[in-house]
Amino acid sequence: MHKRFFVLILMLFVAAALAACGGGPAGGPGAAEEPADETAGGELQLAPELSVYNWADYIDEQVLADYEERYGVKIIYDTYASNEDLLTKLQAGASGYDVIFPSDYMVAQMIELGLLAEIDAEAMPNFANISDVFKDPPYDPGNAHCTPYQWGMTGIAYRRGNPAFAEGPPNSWAYLFDPTRLEPLAPQGINVLNDQRELISAALFYLGYSPNTTNRTELEAARDVILQAKPYWKTFNSEDYYSTLMESDEIVLSHAWSGDAAQAFWNTYDEATGEGNWLFTVPVEGAVRFADNVCIPANSQRQETARHFMNYLMEPEVAAAITNFTFYPSANEAAKEFIDEDILTNPGIYPPPEVAAKLQWLEDVGDAIFDYDEMWTAIKGQ
């Protein structure tokens, strides 16, 4: 893999910007549940299989294969497109899932709803490898329910070489919401993330509001901005947009997660030119910083095996392999020894202070989530 070429280009476009995750598994509803994990003689007896529910393209499949081979546990793997899709599935009573990967604000919401099992993170030997920055997070005090996985940022991915970006990267949310910006780009294709909090937050940033506002008037303003822009968008896609839309040149602009933009760059990389087709920028108005986590649904019947898998994911070499595959930064400090040096020094993946200062976490908004749901229903329904 020619990551060094990727890094050189990515550093250039980040510098310019500064001038900026399905169907139920086997054993799902209605299926007979396996007995809970048991221990015999103090030794953990792993379940014969484990159901993992993750964002699309968010793990190196070799990591799963290695776990299966090493421990004799068959991984049943399924994917989802957004935190809200995951929440809906769990609230509908889906059983059979053992390991899930919700983002920060969704962890807090799931804890409040009683959907997550408690864990003793300190009892997991590999938890010591996690960076102190991700220990005891406000959305999961004491890491009582989840262990940190990966993190990243949300911004705008754009097609390199398009005349619309000749004077500089589209480093403003206006490129997603201002009709005067949208009109010339619409015929070439624009995608937005099919993700409630992410899309509404982008509109809130554009309007100068907090991405965690609970003010209904501000949320209605964000809804109206989105509805005004919606006719210019080609697609709502957050699951496979970087491969089906970006890499195939079906679009020229996308609301995007940083790691997906990096994958689109690499997957369109041309050795002859030393360039990929897709670049990424963080809007000047601000953007979302997210942290995804490894958690166990409260109704999992294989919680001991799930905790064993969580501990496995925190092995330094395993966490590094995941980052080297996804291009998302790892929350695992010990993994840095094994992460490609070009990724570690890449400001498009591990952002410099100037970019990091513009990033904000999404937080649990309490009862205001019902207002968010209402706005989302209006957005998708019109």
pTM: 0.79
Domains and CATH numbers, the chain: 38-151+290-351 (3.40.190.10), 154-288+360-381 (3.40.190.10)
d(CA 68, CA 18): 44
Confidence of residue 22 (pLDDT cuts 50, 70, 90): very low
Residue 328 has pLDDT above 70, yes or no: yes
Sign of CA dihedral 332, 336, 340, 346: positive
pLDDT, residue 268, reads 94
Confidence of residue 2 (pLDDT cuts 50, 70, 90): very low
Q: Which of 40-44, 207-211, 228-232, 260-264 has the lowest mean pLDDT?
A: 40-44
> What Rg value do the Cα atoms of the chain yield, rounded?
21
| Per-residue 3-state assignment (H helix, E strand, C coil) for 324-376 | HHHCCCECEHHHHHCCCHHHHCCCCCCCCHHHHCCEEECCCCHHHHHHHHHHH
Strands 253-257 and 146-159: what pairing?
antiparallel
Confidence of residue 347 (pLDDT cuts 50, 70, 90): confident
